[in-house]
Amino acid sequence: MEVTGEMLVGARAVRGTEGTIYAVNPATGEKLTPAFAGGSAKDVDAACALAKAAFDAYRATSLEQRAHFLETIAQGIVDLGDLLVERVMSESGLPRPRVEGERGRTVGQLKLFAALVREGRWLNVIVDHAMPDRKPAPRPDLRSRKIPVGPVAVFGASNFPLAFSVAGGDTASALAAGCPVVAKSHPSHLGTSELIGRVIQRAVADCGLPEGVFSLVFGEGNAVGEALVSHPAIQAVGFTGSRRGGRALVALAAAREVPIPVFAEMSSINPVFVLPGALAQKAEQMAQGLADSVTMGTGQFCTKPGIVLGMEGVAFDRFRQAAEAAIAAKSATTMLNAGIHSAYEHGVAQWAGHDKVDKLASGQEPAKSSFAGQPTLFATSAKDFLATPELMDEVFGPTSLLIACGGADDAVAIAEQLEGQLTATLHMTEEDTDLARRLLPVLERKAGRILVNGFPTGVEVCHAMVHGGPSPSTSDSRVTSVGTMAIERFLRPICYQDFPAGLLPESLQENNPLHLWRLIDGKLQQP
C-alpha cells in the first residue's frame, strides 16, 4: 500500500480536481509528497449517493459480520506497520511512542466496538406483549429495537490523527451502529488518512460489503465539508475541533431542509481545583503532575487543564513555585501545524500582555525553524478572572492559568460562572471533603467527567467513559464521543406493532434467536 494522493469514493480511488494540497512536516516546515488534490461537491455527492445506496444492505448485516468488519479494519491498521507510524510522525510532529500508543488505542477501540456489536445490548430490544383481554381496550403487541440513523459524515480531528480521525471513535461507533461513513480528512494529515482509508476500503471489499459503506474525501477549505454536511443523504455528523468550526457545522446542519444532529466536541478549559488539604500535603507533587499534563502532546489535548484554582496562602505559593520550576524545565515541542502554532503564540501573547494576568514561567526556547510550542504558565486572581470573560477562552497548547482564590466562595463562584466543560478535577485529601461536597453539584452541572486526584489528559476508552459535556464543550451533552456509549449517537428507536412472526426483525423474534438481553413486559432478561 502506498500514499497516492487520491480520494476514496466507494471502491474507487479518485484524483480530486479542486486545487493541490500538501501535508506539511511541522517539525521542519517541509511539504510532504505526494500532492493531494481537493475534492469537489461532485465527489461528495458521489460518495454520499453510494453511502445512501449501501445503507439498507449494510444495516442488514449480521452482528457477527459487522463485528468481523471492524476487526478486519483493526488488523489492517496493525498490518500497515511502520509505513503508518512514520507517516503520522512526519505529518503531525508527534513522537513515535505517542503515535504507537495512539495506534494501539485506535485498534483497541475498533475491537471494543466489535465486541459491543456482537453482544448486541445496544439494540435495546423491548417487548411488551399483547393483552387481548385488557379493558377498556386491548393492548397490541409492541416491540422496539434501535436501528442506525443513516450515513454519517466524520471529520478528522487535527490532534489525534488516528484515534479521532478516519478510523477513530466516530467512525468506529458509526460503523458499529450500522451507518455508512463518509470521512473528510483533516488537511494536516492527508497521507495518514489515505492509508487508513485504504485499509477500510479493503476491509469493505474483503468482507463483501457494499462499496458505499466507506468513502474518504479531501478538501483544504470549507467547501467539501459544507457540501458533506449539507448533503441530503447524510443523517448525522461527528466532529472534534474548534468551537468556531463546530458551531459552523451545527448551524449548517440546522439550516438544512431536513436538519440533522451534529455531535461536535469543541473547546474546554478543564478546571482543576487544588483544595487546601491537598496543597498542604502534596503541593510539589501536584505541580509536577500539572506541568506534565499541561505539556503532554504539546498541550494539544481537548482535556488539557487550562485553569487551576487554589486558595491563596503559603501552600499555594509552594505549589505555584513548583509549577513554575516544572514548566521552566519543559522543552518546546513541535505542534501539529502552522495554524495551531500561530494560534497558540497569539493566545499566549494575549495573556502575556493582559493587565489582569501575570506570566509566571516559560519552558525552554524552541528552535527557530520549527512550529514548536514553548510551554508557559500564567496567573491571575479569582476576582480578576470573574471580571474578565475572555480568560475563559481556551488557549490550545502547553499553557495554563493559575487562579488564586481568596476562599472557598471564590472557588464556588468561579465554578458557577464556568461554561460547559469536558472535565473538572478536584485534588483533595479527606479534610477537603466538605468543600468537595460543596463544589460537586456545581461541577456536575458543568462537566461530563469529574476526576479526583488525577489529571484529565488521557481519556480511557471503556464503557463508563463520558467524553462530552454541556455546551460549549460539546454540541450535545447527552452523548459521549469516546467509549461504548458513543454508539448511541447514531441509533434511533423504532417500534413494531402487531407484526406477524415472519415479518419481525430477527432481534425481535419471540424465541430470541440472537440471544440478546431483552426488556420483556418491563423485566430485563438475560439471554
- Of 73-102, which residues contact a second copy (CB under 8 A)? 101
The 222-251 contact track toward a second copy, x by CB under 8 A, reads ----------------------------xx
Stretch that binds a second copy, among 12-20, 341-349, 380-388, 452-460 (CB under 8 A): 452-460
Distance, in Å, from the CA atom of 213 to the CA atom of 84, rounded to the nearest integer, reads 23
Query: Is 284 annotated in the active site?
Result: no
In the complex with a second copy, which residue's Cβ is closer, 346 or 492?
A: 492
In the complex with a second copy, which residue's Cβ is closer, 101 or 313?
A: 101
Q: Using alpha carbons only, what angle is made at residue 218 by residues 150 and 40, rounded to the nearest 5 degrees? A: 85
Q: Which of 6, 302, 324, 405 is catalytic?
A: 302
Among 20, 30, 42, 60, binds a second copy (CB under 8 A): 60
SS3 labels along 190-253: HHHHHHHHHHHHHHHHHCCCCHHHEEEECCCCCHHHHHHHHCCCCCEEEEECCHHHHHHHHHHH
What is the closest distance, in whole angstroms, from the C-beta atom of residue 448 to a second copy in the complex? 6
For residue 398, whether the previous peptide bond is cis, meaning omega lies within 30 degrees of 0, is no
What is the closest distance, in whole angstroms, from the C-beta atom of residue 233 to a second copy in the complex? 11
Query: Is 390 annotated in the active site?
Result: no
The 368-407 contact track toward a second copy, x by CB under 8 A, reads ----------------------------------------
What is the closest distance, in whole angstroms, from the C-beta atom of residue 441 to a second copy in the complex? 5
Stretch that binds a second copy, among 24-32, 187-195, 382-390, 474-482 (CB under 8 A): 474-482
DSSP H or E run through 366: none
In the complex with a second copy, which residue's Cβ is closer, 108 or 221?
A: 108
Among 149, 248, 335, 357, binds a second copy (CB under 8 A): 149
Paired sense of beta strands 376-381 and 358-362, if any: antiparallel
- Of 257-296, which residues contact a second copy (CB under 8 A)? 258-261
Residue with cell 477562552: 393
User: Count H helices, E strands: the chain?
Assistant: 13, 23
Q: Which of 91, 265, 324, 419 is catalytic?
A: 265
For residue 34, whether the previous peptide bond is cis, meaning omega lies within 30 degrees of 0, is yes
SS3 labels along 438-480: HHHHHHHHHEEEEEECCCCCCCCCCCCCCCCCCCCCECCCCCC
Say if residues 401 and 379 touch (Cβ distance below 8 Å): yes
In the complex with a second copy, which residue's Cβ is closer, 144 or 376?
A: 144
Cβ-Cβ contacts under 8 Å for 39 (sequence gap 6 or more): 7, 14, 16, 17, 18, 217, 218, 219, 224
Stretch that binds a second copy, among 76-84, 173-181, 191-199, 437-445 (CB under 8 A): 437-445
Q: Is 433 an interacting residue with respect to a second copy (CB under 8 A)?
A: yes
Say if residues 210 and 216 touch (Cβ distance below 8 Å): no
Paired sense of beta strands 523-525 and 358-362, if any: unpaired
The 479-508 contact track toward a second copy, x by CB under 8 A, reads xx----x--xx-xxxxxxxxxx-xx-----
- Of 116-135, which residues contact a second copy (CB under 8 A)? 121, 126-128
In the complex with a second copy, which residue's Cβ is closer, 205 or 255?
A: 255
Catalytic residues: 265, 302
